[in-house]
Amino acid sequence: MKWPFLFYILCLINLAACDRQVLPDNDVQNAAIKFAIAQSPLNLDPRYATDASSERICRLIYQSLVDFDASMRPIPQLATWNAVSAQAYQFNLILSRNVFHHHEPLTADDVKATYDSLVGLKDSPHASEFANIHHIAVQNQDTLTFYLKQPDAHFAEKLIIGILPKRLIEAGHDFSRQPVGNGALAFEHWQNQLRLKRVADGQEVVFHEVKDSTVRVLKLIKGEVDLIQGDLPPELVKYLQSQPDIKVLSTTGSNFSYLGLNVQHPVLSRLKVRQALAHAIDREALIRQVMVPDTRVAGAILPPEHYAGNADLRAYTYNPRMARQLLIEAGIQLPLKLVYKTSTDAQRVRFATILQAQMRPAGIDLQINSLDWGTFFSDIKHGNFELYGLTWVGIKTPEIYEKAFGSEYFTPRGVNRGRYRDATLDAFLLEKDWRSVTLRIHQQLPYIPLWYEGQFVAFNRHIKNYAPKSDGNWDDLATISHDAH
Amino acid sequence: MKNFSYAILGVWLIAVLAGHVMHLDPNAIDLNVVLHGPSALHWLGADDLGRDLLARILSGVQVSFMVAMVVTAVTMVVGVFVGLLAGFYGGRVDQILMQITDIFLAFPGILLAIAFAAVLGPGLDNLIFALCLTGWVSYARLTRGQTMSLRNRQHVLAAQSLGATVPRLLLLHILPLIASLLVVEATYSLASVMIAEASLSFLGLGIQAPHASWGAMLRDAVRYMLVAPHYVLIVGACMMSLILAINLCGDYLRDSLDVRTEKQI
């Protein structure tokens, strides 16, 4: 009798150990905030950062000359500016913000050194954006002027690269692993986990990489981490919403998901076929059943609240009968066979399978070809596709319309991957008549718009001052705190 | 246990046939029942796209059986052919063939299959090809050893002296004596090919959507373990029961063909 009894006692002790981690109030207030992310940042040098985690953390460590307001209009962050001429922009630094984490002042020389070094980097993915800079002239400690080779009305909006200290650039400092900026959070340590410290009050934030979504959720529920954001299937978001100790906040997003088309394909070059595809997708049902909260139907790359957005675009309704009729009118012999390329991501394959089922009644036989990311993206970049599904992430400026649909922006010069050519659209783009541009694209369908995915964050109830943002950034880590009560 | 394993195997074989008769649609999507548990309409519940789990499991087992049968048949033919040649001729032929076999044996089979599947791309044809490329070595090793021990037997030497050709010697005088061992090996191979197919599909290198495969179903089910545990449990239990039954049947087959087992009894 004695041994089974001891065994039960040990089991109870183990079960108790499996409970949530509960800390005393003082410890809660002083503890580091643990943020579970699906993918660790790859490079914290803002001149090289391209992955989502790196870009979001760079926004916290560094500050740039320019940022964006809620309607995505450029606003000063480190500097105000004015166009001296069509090819010259003068920037005046805002003095109150200009100190790096290693206590050296941020001056116009640092700005010049940052952009000079960026233009000179052959392996930076951002360097080509600034190839139009002729030279940068520093007038004084707080004033500098960018001189351009060609006029560019959107030049100021591009200056979103974090500013680095000139002395460290010249010393060849490794910003990718030991970043030094002047943002709200300062780099502290990076070995397995990235640790940052808030400059204002010393609050630490630790980033834990947890790749598996189920494990991320379990860690949050158990209290091993304090918050998670995005990268979860909608079912797990609903599951978190039902947990008493977890708070889930969501907001509308601005990342645009779409179907890309090869408009030089003999069938897809016909407008009626593209319209048929647009009418063969039941976006409402997809959003309702298999998308995260606050996902909404999209009409254009930039959302309606953007200053270049168009709220009057009407979504294509799901009407398989009309789609079938359009295909017949286009002279297509049914079923129309098309290959849809996507990545091997489970949620992407899930969408593809639903699209395949929704298009079948319209007489479209969609063949799914799910490829590893490298092969998939290489195929897309080289125009080796009929149909594909992708998402534009973090797009801020209407210049994207020119790059994605302009006749002179076929890959590799731009991102017009479907090789769409339209003289009318080119004229609208030249006039920067965004309303006409979005309407024309909506009518001609070089892309088939799907949705803007909602953004959400889930955190333990003792966390406060954090909310999701439309582009999924983590800017509120600058204000997040524990609530001891 | 013996009858139990035969019963499980029998049930699965009937299920494969029933799948054809019942005309279930494993790809019919109903977004209103996504991840719903077992009900009168969906006996085993629905998956992450609202597809009937029973229909998909039956469709998946057909694919698994088909892949296992084709791969086992191909690898057996290739492996036995290589083993017979190496064991019968010996010398340089044996050295060359066995060194090739050793190269394949040096890598873990599943890892090699993953590499081949990754290079060839996903899809059923490539999956079968990748598994065939790595599966023949065990047959080759087994056949070679047995052939070496049989080639100097009296009946083989007698047939040779009477003028029997090499193919005749191999097919009529050696192969029948090792057939029972090969059959037992094939049952183990069936189970291991099913696991390999599931593993490759689990990694996204196997059968492509929307076709059902147990490995792909398990991969999807794991994502919803917290919200729909029935999904992963049902697929896991089906896979475990079938593979366990095949392995147990292989054990009983081996015992029944082993003369020493009878003597001990």
Which domains are seen in chain A, by residue range? Answer: 3-43+185-251+455-482 (3.40.190.10), 52-170 (3.90.76.10), 253-453 (3.10.105.10)
Per-residue pLDDT band for A192 (boundaries 50, 70, 90) equals confident
Q: Is residue B1 over pLDDT 80? A: no
Rounded to an integer, what distance in angstroms lies between the CA atom of residue A307 and that of residue B28? Answer: 42
Contact assignment for B227 to A236 by CB distance below 8 Å? yes
pLDDT > 60? residue A25: no
Closest CA to B89 of B147, B165, B168, B156: B147
Interface probe with B: pick from A239, A353, A354, A366, most Cβ of B within 10 Å: A353
pLDDT digits (tens, 9 = 90+) for B220-245: 898 899 999 999 999 999 989 988 98
User: In this predicted structure, what is the pLDDT of residue B265?
Assistant: 42
Nearest Cα residue in chain B from A289? B31
Which residues of chain B does A290 touch, with a Cβ-Cβ cutoff of 8 Å?
A: 31, 34, 48-49
Strand A204-209's sheet: what is its strand order? A185-191, A193-198, A204-209, A33-37, A227-229, A455-460, A246-251
Which residues of chain A make contact with B220, given a CB cutoff of 8 A?
346
- In this structure, are residues B214 and B12 in contact, taking their beta carbons and an 8 Å threshold? no
Out of A238, A290, A372, closest to residue B31 by CB = A290
* Dihedral sign of CA atoms B14, B16, B21, B24 in order: positive
Q: CB distance A233–B34 less than 8 Å?
A: no
Q: Specify the amino acid at residue B140.
A: A
Candidates A455, A417, A452; CA nearest to A306 is A452
Q: What is the pLDDT of residues A419-439, one digit of tens each?
A: 999 999 999 999 989 999 999
3-state secondary structure at position A296: strand
State the average pLDDT for chain B: 87
How many folded domains does chain B comprise? 1
Residue pairs between chains A and B whose CB atoms are closer than 8 Å = 68
Do the Cβ atoms of B156 and B174 come closer than 8 Å? yes
The two tokens of residue B66 are 């088909």
Q: Which of B32, B48, B208 sits opposite A370 (nearest CB)?
A: B208
Non-local CB neighbours of B142 within 8 Å, separated by 6+ positions: B79, B83, B178, B181, B182, B185
The mean pLDDT value for A216-226 works out to 95
pLDDT for B112: 78
ipTM of the complex: 0.75
Instruction: Please say if the pLDDT value at position A137 is more than 70.
Output: yes
Cβ of residue B118 closer than 8 Å to a chain A Cβ: yes
End-to-end CA distance of chain A: 45
Q: Do B227 and A369 touch (CB under 8 A)?
A: no
Burial class (CB in 10 A: 0-12, 13-18, 19+), A425: buried
Query: Which of A298-312, A446-460, B205-219, B251-265 comes out lowest in average pLDDT?
Result: B251-265
- What is the nearest CA distance from A338 to chain B, expressed in angstroms? 15
What CATH number is associated with residue B76?
A: 1.10.3720.10
Residue B47 C-alpha, separation from nearest chain A C-alpha, in angstroms: 11
Tell me if B209 and A357 make a contact (CB, 8 A cut-off).
no
Residue B35 has pLDDT above 60, yes or no: yes
In chain B, whose CA is at the least distance from the CA of A233?
A: B223
The rounded radius of gyration (Å) of the Cα atoms in chain A is: 25
- Are B49 and A353 in contact (CB < 8 Å)? yes
Q: Does A238 touch chain B (CB under 8 A)?
A: yes
CA distance A420 to A426: 11
- Domain with B136, as residue range(s), is 2-264
Contact yes or no for B219 and A372 at CB 8 A:
no
Start-to-end C-alpha separation, chain B: 18
Q: Which residues of chain B neighbour A285 with C-beta distances below 8 Å?
A: 31
Name the H helices within A251-302: 271-279, 283-290
pLDDT at A24 over 80: no
Instruction: Supply A132's token pair.
Output: 């139009």
